[in-house]
Amino acid sequence: MNGEVTCPVCQSTAYAQADYALNRVFYECPVCGRFQLCAHGSTGIDENRLASYLFYHCFSHKGNTEYRYHTLLNKDICDEYRTAFDNGDITHGRPVHMDAEIVGAWYPKTFSERVDHILLYLSEHMAHMGQFISFNYQESLSLMFIDRKENIPKAIPFVDTLEKRRSREDYGNELKYMLNWLSEDSYVEHHFGTTEDTYLKLRLTPKGYSRVDELQKYRASGRNVLVAMKFGDDTKTLREAIREGIRKADYQAVFIDEVQHNEFITPELLKYIRDSKFVVVDLTHQNNGAYFEEGYAMGLGKPVIQLCKKDIKLHFDIAQKNTIMWETEADIPERLCNRIKATID
């Protein structure tokens, strides 16, 4: 099995080198990059997800010598090989561990997360503003999270079962659906190329760039905290008091109406909650959204800090929770900051 093979993940022509004694095959694929799988047996990873994971985290030479590769080897062996590598023994290269959990955690959970990944990928791979990037056919499928297999069982053995593959027409329809969505939302411009190697050309629009800016700003800090409360003119002072309390504790408040244009509960809002280290909720106005967001955060095991104006009766389910009962907005910054420092940091 040494030499040219069909990549078991994406079906491109790839290079393989097998070590049957150790039950490992090393692949070098133009789309998936450098990775290692078992020669026999299941990967335990959903193959559809694996294709996008490898494409988005691709290790390839790109003109320089590259020793890193993704592998199913366990973490201890990876550590051992890496230490050897750092000490000058390059026999096993520089393995990077992957498993079903890692791939599953990375893989976008919602449609809008897919879109975010695609936009970030484009911005990272674009040398100049306004440049089109070409993707060949298989790259396009991996980039756009198009399933190659019909069903998605947890563990597909690496036996090439052709009948399980979806038809090319099927892929194409899903790809067009994704592209229409991206284009209708004016994040990208696209056109189809004339050859298999230039199957798809994509570039970010100014609106796409501003979405990327927003995503990068948000991801970079890692200290964002979603605040759930009633938004309106009558709560401006409250909002600023909460913002100040969070800032004093060295975190950054995210108010959903400042980052998206409606206050409805959307997958994006849920994503902000998931990415928050903890959530701050003000229940003064008995706002249904705030209750919902608190419940969602609690379900995820996120710490929630509750605030409420004194003398407001809380829903009994949460009245038991230790709540910062404030008399005036001026009380909030210091008390909130102290609470964050005591319970989160």
Give least dist CB 235 to Zn ion, A: 52
7 vs 290, beta carbon nearer Zn ion? 7
29 within 8 A of 61, measured Cβ to Cβ = no
**For strand 224-228 and strand 68-71, is the pairing parallel, antiparallel, or unpaired?**
unpaired
Give least dist CB 301 to Zn ion, A: 36
Give the C-alpha separation, 306 to 286, whole Å. 12
b/e map of 97-122 (b: 16 or more CB within 10 Å)? Answer: bbebeebeeebbeeebbbbbbbbbbb
Please identify, among the stretches 8-16, 228-236, 245-253, 326-334, the one whose residues bind Zn ion according to the rule CB under 5 A.
Answer: 8-16
Give least dist CB 333 to Zn ion, A: 53
Give the C-alpha separation, 340 to 74, whole Å. 37
Residue 254 near Zn ion by CB under 5 A: no
Give least dist CB 179 to Zn ion, A: 22
60 vs 198, beta carbon nearer Zn ion? 60
53 vs 187, beta carbon nearer Zn ion? 53
Residue 228 near Zn ion by CB under 5 A: no
12 vs 198, beta carbon nearer Zn ion? 12
Coil, strand or helix: which one is 189?
strand
DSSP string, 231-280: -SGGGHHHHHHHHHHHHHTT-EEEEHHHHSS--S--HHHHHHHHH-SSEE
Give the C-alpha separation, 208 to 188, whole Å. 6
205 within 8 A of 186, measured Cβ to Cβ = yes
Residue 146 near Zn ion by CB under 5 A: no
Please identify, among the stretches 6-14, 57-65, 169-177, 262-270, the one whose residues bind Zn ion according to the rule CB under 5 A.
Answer: 6-14
Please identify, among the stretches 7-15, 163-171, 198-206, 286-294, the one whose residues bind Zn ion according to the rule CB under 5 A.
Answer: 7-15
Considering only residues 9 through 68, tell me which ones interact with Zn ion, judged by CB under 5 A.
9-10, 12, 29, 31-32
Q: End-to-end distance of the chain based on CA atoms, in angstroms?
A: 53
32 vs 118, beta carbon nearer Zn ion? 32
Give least dist CB 36 to Zn ion, A: 13
Q: Residues in the site for Zn ion, rule: CB under 5 A?
A: 7, 9-10, 12, 29, 31-32
